[in-house]
Structure 1
Amino acid sequence: MTIIKEIKNNVLWIRLNRPQVFNSFNQEMAFAVQGALDEAVTNRDIRAVVITGEGKAFCAGQDLAEATDPNGPELQSIVAKHYNPIIGKIRTIEKPVIAAVNGVAAGAGANIALACDIVFAGNSASFIQAFSKIGLIPDSGGTFFLPRLIGFQKAMALMMTGDKVIAEEAERMNMIYKSVGDEMLMETVEKFAEQLAKMPTRGLGLTKIAMNASMTNNLSQQLKVEEELQTQAGSTYDFQEGTTAFLEKRKPEFKGE
């Protein structure tokens, strides 16, 4: 079983489960993660997603034993069929996707984490753009997200050198949302994810659509996107419940609809 799935309090937990190889990806695990993310789209009981790793690592990237196996998938297929769909699904799921980085996140593992909406990391965790060490380029959206998070110069330096960035430094660089003590990581993420799962899920999903669009839009295009999405948000049950609760001075009970 290459991943462990659990739905708890409307949160889908996806735990990468190849700890003997630091949760490095093979084809089976890539397809299993894709399937779990598809479930997050269709299952209305799921209102937030957490991706984390079993054991001491988050994810060490691609399993090089598979990548160099003459009978294994070709590199182009690994990128196109394993990683690109995972990144696409993380970004298009209209629900919050949170990474809980519990150890090293290297190569594709680092960039899968950075593609998530919000990243928490334990203090002993680290992020490594390891591709240059073996003559490859960053994939899994790394060349898109990292420069937007930390700036062109820093991203370029990290990609060329493959230097390790510890969690506290990653937070200072705005690479991640927050670093916390290792012993507090899962409890912190659980509380945070369950808080988001009780919020207006449809509104959060529309916010995600707007943020995705802002990556490439100019101001006038983005204002039009906001107008269209705000109109959709205003037609939801949760908007009606939120405004009614405000006027009645009570706590709203959102349904995610």
Structure 2
Amino acid sequence: MTLKIWGAEDLTRTSAQDDVVTTLPNGGYVAVYYVTGAGLQFQMYDGAGLKVGAPVPVPTGTTRFADNFDVQTIGSNGQFAVSWTERGSPNTVKSHVFNMDGSRITPQAIMVADVGTSSTGSTPSIAATSTGGYVTVYNHSNDTTVKLAVQDASGNVISTANVSVQNGAERPNITHIGGSKYVVSYRTTVATTADPETGVKYKLVDISANPPTVSDRVHVGDGFNSDVIGLKNANGDLNGDFAVA
């Protein structure tokens, strides 16, 4: 198979920083980014890479600096969720849910968690559920422990769990591997008697229980960042396997 660029390059926005992308069931996609002085925005595209409409602001309900964000398609009708960190005292993780046409499902930003006052902030990551909702995983910025929140299709938090309570756990990433099962990867920077190895690790999470159940950690190796992805069969179905990089 030969890979090639089949579409013309498009300028989404100047003076923007950071970006995340998710696909839509109609073949299009959504790009979310942060604009200094204007906050979080997203731009919708069709399957040919052409812009659909103008950039849409993600209403955070505050003038505080919003960063460290993620986007994920949820459900079967093209809805998508955006979770982000708002800097302040305290820092918070919040979410919004949108329809495939870019209109809001949630009239106001959903409060996911208070994540402390550290200047390092938090790094949320999202994965969809098989019931139309999503899971947001994040780190608490003061003690850098990793936590997750299971949210319904309207963004409401329905259950929570601690993924890692070890001091120095941060930079989480989550993926769906099928059914109610997820994998969360993260890194730790502090060695303890209970967990003497620093670096990249992962845990399995089952959200069918309330609170969700979390497995023992597995150490992957040294690293600063990690990414985890669920693997699929040739027909596109998740097969329960995953890869951590």
TM class by smaller structure:
under 0.3
Larger Rg: 1
With CA pairs under 8 Å and 6+ residues apart, which has the higher RCO, 1 or 2?
Answer: 1
TM superposition score normalised by structure 1? 0.24
TM superposition score normalised by structure 2? 0.25
In proportion to residue count, which structure has more strand? 2
In proportion to residue count, which structure has more helix? 1
